[in-house]
């Protein structure tokens, strides 16, 4: 369920989409935030070059007794330097968030993801809600009506993905965290391409 809407867009949706380029590489990545201490994030591209997966191993939001303000909200900003075949532009499509949540009745968890390209005005924002009572793995999907595109015609782009989660109210014991089976919280960003 999407709670937030697109704040602004960089370009209109193209009239025709293209197959993905043959080559897509993450040539550099940086992470910053309380939800992704150094060495706790990995980035993967799928073999079809139509998805990126960000795996966060230490992303834990918790509330309740013996917790502090810094436990109640976490964020992670991932900046990805992408290289691909010349003559393409890419945009993000659906965004999926997978993790684990233990939230009692009367408590709500929120997760929001913002995606943008460096050098292009506008960003796409998605939000999801985890209302209590619930316990177990979760998978939340966001699919915007309008998307932002990277600059057209080049062979590089810098993609910024900023994820934050929080829980309210903070007096009851609750948690949003890495999945107990996979030992990670995963953000999957599907990509689409157009030729320029």
Q: Is 155 helix (H, G, I), strand (E, B) or coil?
A: coil
What is the pLDDT averaged over residues 21-42? 92
Which DSSP state fits 23?
A: -
* Phi-psi map region of 49: left, alpha, beta (phi>0 left; psi -120 to 50 alpha): left
- The model carries a pTM of 0.81
C-alpha 120: how far from chain center: 18
**Model confidence pLDDT, tens digit, residues 83-129:** 999 999 988 888 888 899 999 999 999 998 888 888 877 677 777 78
Distance CA 162, CA 97 (A): 12
* DSSP string of 47-63, one letter each residue: TTSSEEEEEESS--EEE
What is the pLDDT averaged over residues 41-62? 92
Domains belonging to the chain, first-starting first, are: 24-191 (2.60.120)
**Model confidence pLDDT, tens digit, residues 138-171:** 887 777 655 678 888 789 999 998 889 999 999 9
For 127-148, b/e burial (b = at least 16 CB within 10 A) is bbebebeeeeebebebebeebb
Task: Please give the C-alpha separations between residue 141 and each of 112, 146, 156, 186, in angstroms, as whole numbers.
Answer: 11, 15, 27, 12
| Whole-number average pLDDT of the chain | 84
């Amino acid at each position: 369920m999407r709670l937030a809407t697109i704040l602004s867009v960089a370009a209109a949706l193209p009239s025709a989409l293209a197959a993905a380029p043959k080559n897509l590489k993450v040539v550099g990545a940086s992470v910053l935030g309380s939800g992704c201490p150094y060495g706790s994030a990995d980035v993967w591209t799928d073999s079809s070059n139509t998805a990126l997966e960000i795996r966060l191993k230490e992303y834990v939001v918790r509330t309740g007794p013996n917790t502090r303000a810094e436990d109640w909200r976490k964020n992670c900003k991932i900046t990805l330097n992408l290289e691909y075949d010349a003559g393409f532009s890419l945009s993000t499509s659906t965004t999926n968030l997978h993790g684990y949540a233990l939230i009692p009745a009367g408590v709500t968890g929120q997760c929001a993801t913002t995606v943008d390209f460096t050098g292009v005005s506008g960003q796409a924002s998605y939000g999801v809600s985890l209302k209590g009572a619930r316990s177990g793995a979760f998978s939340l999907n966001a699919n915007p009506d309008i998307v932002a595109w990277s600059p057209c015609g080049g062979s590089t782009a810098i993609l910024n993905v900023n994820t934050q989660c929080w829980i309210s109210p903070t007096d009851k014991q609750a948690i949003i965290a890495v999945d107990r089976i996979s030992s990670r919280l995963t953000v999957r960003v599907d990509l689409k391409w157009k030729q320029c």
